[in-house]
Amino acid sequence: MKQIQRVAKGKRYLISRLRRDVVPTGLIKCSQRNTCLLAAIIIAFATLNPVCAQDESTVLDRLQERQGAELGSSNKAESIQVGKAIFLDTNLSNPTGQACISCHIPQHAFADPKPQSTGAINHRVGTRNAPSLMYAALIPSFAYDDFFTPEGDEIYAYEGGLFWDGSARDLFEQVQKPFFHANEMNLDNEEQLANRLRKSNYSNDLKKLVGEAVWQDDSAVTYQAYLALVVFLRSPIFRPFDSKLDQYLAGDLESLDEKERRGMQVYINGGKCNDCHPLNAKHWDQPLLSDFGYDNLGVPSIGKPDGGLGAHTGNKDELGQFRSPSLRNVAITAPYMHNGSLKTLREVVEFYNARDTPKRRWKQTDFPETVNRDDMGNLKLNEREVDDLIAFLHCFTDRCIENMSDEEQFPVPPKDTPSVQTKSLYFPGWTQRLHRSFKQSTTQD
């Protein structure tokens, strides 16, 4: 990787502002340094000239064409069905008995209420909390982005990527990992996975997607299985956008009561939550409540230090940094943070509010030297503001999950949830990954 200036510690606040105000990524989420540079320069001069707009649409058209070819609409419904069956299949672990759904529980917005999940082998416990899978398909790919400060300085920071530390470049890379992780489903290799898929009770449907001719080819079978999982995780179940917040943002101002509206002001102003969990839409046309940037909040240690982003980028300034999660459905995804160390939403808010005050009650953190002490830790919010803010965080829960009946296995999204086909432009980052010959890589440059 080229020697380039990394973002200095303590500039996180500036970056979150720049992300929010200056870089209009939106549709053209920059995953290439040069594209981003171009976008930033265009914005720096604030001239939306027609030549550039034309270039943009050509790129998007090409991506859409490619995606259309890869993911022919004719078998999308079948892929979703197969993806769902894999998600539920407890025969794909060693020993059997564990599936994706064992740790990603629908009633908890597909997160795990245990601070750390237990794997297929019962005594093996990981070190991280299983996050919600709601909106996970909309997390942008791992990228190293440039930003321009108002003074014209260029700074760099990582954003996006799957897993708390961004170690999977995108969802396609991510869905492959749980099968083989010793603390998760614990299979030995792809051959074992392919054999079990061929014996599954959905094998006929999978065979139709793979094709008779290559049905004995392990990599062809597992490739289709990963793809089906990705397609399933992109389906409307995982992106219903039907919370109270969405109703409010769609113009129904009465949907939030007075307390919740006061909480929104705390979220934007005194709490500064909006700087890293923004309410404005950027990566999708509704807000995802994350800027997908990385930070070390100094959360209490649970034992063995977890280097987070720094552990796989090799940069010591990034040790202890984790990706800012979407706050959608946050009221039902307790416990919190990458290691599940904070138990309730109240504790999270109190942590942001009073981490650095004499009243502090939290244990030592893993990497004190990289903790963000500029944007949080002593917010001086009073009791009422804390209460209001918590009430507002409860407005992020999707109604279709809240109202799930005991008979339902998965939430039923509203009928008008837009199809992925019409929204395919939002997925440029991983379209190229949908080809088997595309090489894996975890870093951008």
Our CB check for ligand HEC shows the closer of 35 and 338 to be 338
Of the candidate spans 235-243, 251-259, 292-300, 410-418, the one that interacts with ligand HEC by CB under 6 A turns out to be: 292-300
Q: State yes or no: residue 162 binds ligand HEC (CB under 6 A).
A: yes
Q: Tell me the site size for ligand HEC, rule CB under 6 A.
A: 49
Instruction: Residue 237: name the closest of 70, 140, 73, 106 by CA.
Output: 106
Taking each helix axis as running N to C, give the angle between helix 218-233 and helix 203-210, from 0 to 180 degrees, rounded to the nearest 10: 100
* Parallel/antiparallel/unpaired status of strands 294-295 and 322-323: antiparallel
Least Å from the CB of residue 55 to ligand HEC: 32
* Parallel/antiparallel/unpaired status of strands 143-148 and 322-323: unpaired
The interface with ligand HEC within residues 211-250 (CB under 6 A) comprises 229
Our CB check for ligand HEC shows the closer of 343 and 435 to be 343
Please report the sign of the dihedral spanned by the C-alpha atoms of residue 187, residue 193, residue 195, residue 201.
Answer: positive
Our CB check for ligand HEC shows the closer of 128 and 196 to be 128
Tokens of 410: 């998965």
What residues have CB less than 8 Å from 325, skipping those under 6 apart?
A: 131, 132, 164, 290
d(CA 96, CA 91): 5
Q: State yes or no: residue 289 binds ligand HEC (CB under 6 A).
A: no
Least Å from the CB of residue 74 to ligand HEC: 24
Binding residue for ligand HEC, selected from 209, 348, 371, 420, defined by CB under 6 A: 348
Dump the DSSP string for 356-401.
TSTT--PPPBS-GGG---SSSS-----HHHHHHHHHHHGGGS-HHH
Segment (H or E) for 146: strand 143-148
Least Å from the CB of residue 27 to ligand HEC: 22
Binding residue for ligand HEC, selected from 146, 242, 260, 295, defined by CB under 6 A: 295
Task: Fill in the amino acid letter for 418.
Answer: P
Q: State yes or no: residue 131 binds ligand HEC (CB under 6 A).
A: yes
Omega before residue 418 within 30° of 0, cis: no
End-to-end CA distance of the chain: 6
Q: State yes or no: residue 337 binds ligand HEC (CB under 6 A).
A: yes
Least Å from the CB of residue 143 to ligand HEC: 15
Binding residue for ligand HEC, selected from 23, 39, 103, 138, defined by CB under 6 A: 103
For residue 151, what are the CA distances in angstroms to 45, 47, 97, 147, 249?
12, 18, 57, 11, 33
Please report the sign of the dihedral spanned by the C-alpha atoms of residue 296, residue 302, residue 305, residue 307.
Answer: negative
DSSP state of 189: -
Task: Fill in the amino acid letter for 113.
Answer: P
Q: State yes or no: residue 98 binds ligand HEC (CB under 6 A).
A: yes
Q: State yes or no: residue 79 binds ligand HEC (CB under 6 A).
A: no
Q: State yes or no: residue 272 binds ligand HEC (CB under 6 A).
A: yes
Binding residue for ligand HEC, selected from 35, 200, 222, 372, defined by CB under 6 A: 372
Binding residue for ligand HEC, selected from 133, 210, 309, 386, defined by CB under 6 A: 133
Q: State yes or no: residue 307 binds ligand HEC (CB under 6 A).
A: no
Q: State yes or no: residue 187 binds ligand HEC (CB under 6 A).
A: no
Binding residue for ligand HEC, selected from 187, 288, 330, 395, defined by CB under 6 A: 330
Q: State yes or no: residue 263 binds ligand HEC (CB under 6 A).
A: no
Least Å from the CB of residue 69 to ligand HEC: 25
Taking each helix axis as running N to C, give the angle between helix 203-210 and helix 76-88, from 0 to 180 degrees, rounded to the nearest 10: 140
Least Å from the CB of residue 312 to ligand HEC: 11
For residue 310, what are the CA distances in angstroms to 107, 270, 302?
33, 30, 18
What residues have CB less than 8 Å from 287, skipping those under 6 apart?
A: 249, 278, 279, 280, 281
Give the angle 374-375-376 at the CA atoms, nearest 5°: 105
Q: State yes or no: residue 420 binds ligand HEC (CB under 6 A).
A: no
Our CB check for ligand HEC shows the closer of 147 and 164 to be 164
Binding residue for ligand HEC, selected from 7, 39, 80, 136, defined by CB under 6 A: 136
**Burial environment of residue 112 by CB neighbours within 10 A (0 to 12, 13 to 18, 19 or more):** buried
Binding residue for ligand HEC, selected from 23, 40, 82, 100, defined by CB under 6 A: 100
Least Å from the CB of residue 80 to ligand HEC: 13
Binding residue for ligand HEC, selected from 145, 242, 275, 318, defined by CB under 6 A: 275
Our CB check for ligand HEC shows the closer of 67 and 129 to be 129
Binding residues vs ligand HEC (CB under 6 A): 12, 16, 98, 100, 102-104, 117, 119, 126, 128, 130-131, 133, 136, 162-164, 174-175, 178-179, 184-185, 229, 271-273, 275-277, 295, 297, 299, 322, 324-325, 327, 330, 333, 336-338, 348-349, 352, 372, 375-376
